[in-house]
């Protein structure tokens, strides 16, 4: 079987271009993730890896849709290879059944990782420039109207820290950061 894997970084992004390519290539089954490719913790990727079997071919439109760093790419392809599954990236014309294809996979994987690092670097530079101009202040801080009351109950031993976090709808790290801030 031909198995297609499609990924975009956010739920708002469109997968149509990749889906059309998969249909043109005669793909039998398509798995679609709408999450970042920064790691392999993607529900449809995991489902696809469980589904494929010996003789199948996994097809992606381009390597960056499959993995964003070389280690993840090589690990994923190794997982597929161990199951007897071929990997094809259409844009880069990579087919892992050949030694040249395996070599090119490594090269293009490194390029995809470099591209990701450039994106992150440009994002950091843009944020720094915006901060200098007073146009970026980061994410708005959540205000908790009951914070003092709940912290008093917690400090008085009437509730546990976990109960206080639950009551405030606050994560553990945020809770203890606010406790430190209140102590100052």
Phi/psi region, residue 41 (left: phi>0; alpha: psi -120 to 50; beta: rest), is beta
- Cα–Cα distances (Å) from 120 to 57, 114, 149, in that order, read 32, 10, 41
Answer yes or no: 9 catalytic: yes
- Contact predicate 101/95, CB 8 Å: yes
Question: Rounded to 5 degrees, what are φ and ψ at 172?
Answer: -60, -45
Question: How far is residue 113's CA from residue 64's CA, in Å, rounded to a whole number?
Answer: 8
Question: How far is residue 139's CA from residue 128's CA, in Å, rounded to a whole number?
Answer: 14
- Contact predicate 109/67, CB 8 Å: yes
**Residues tagged active-site:** 9
């Amino acid at each position: 079987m031909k198995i297609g894997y499609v990924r975009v970084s956010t739920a708002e992004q469109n997968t149509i271009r990749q889906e059309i390519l998969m249909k043109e290539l005669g793909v039998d089954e398509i798995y679609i993730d709408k999450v970042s490719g920064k790691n392999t913790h993607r529900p449809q990727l995991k489902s696809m890896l469980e589904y494929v079997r010996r003789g199948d071919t996994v097809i992606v439109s381009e390597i960056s849709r499959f993995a964003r760093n070389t280690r993840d790419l090589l690990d994923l392809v190794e997982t597929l290879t161990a199951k007897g599954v071929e990997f094809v990236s259409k844009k880069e014309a990579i087919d892992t059944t050949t030694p040249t294809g395996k070599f090119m996979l490594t090269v293009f994987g490194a390029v995809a990782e470099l591209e990701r690092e450039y994106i992150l670097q440009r994002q950091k530079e843009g944020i720094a420039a915006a901060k200098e101009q007073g146009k970026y202040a980061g994410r708005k801080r959540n205000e908790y109207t009951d914070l003092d009351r709940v912290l008093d109950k917690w400090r008085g031993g009437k509730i546990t820290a976990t109960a206080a976090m639950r009551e405030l709808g606050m994560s553990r790290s945020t809770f203890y950061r606010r406790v430190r801030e209140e102590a100052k």
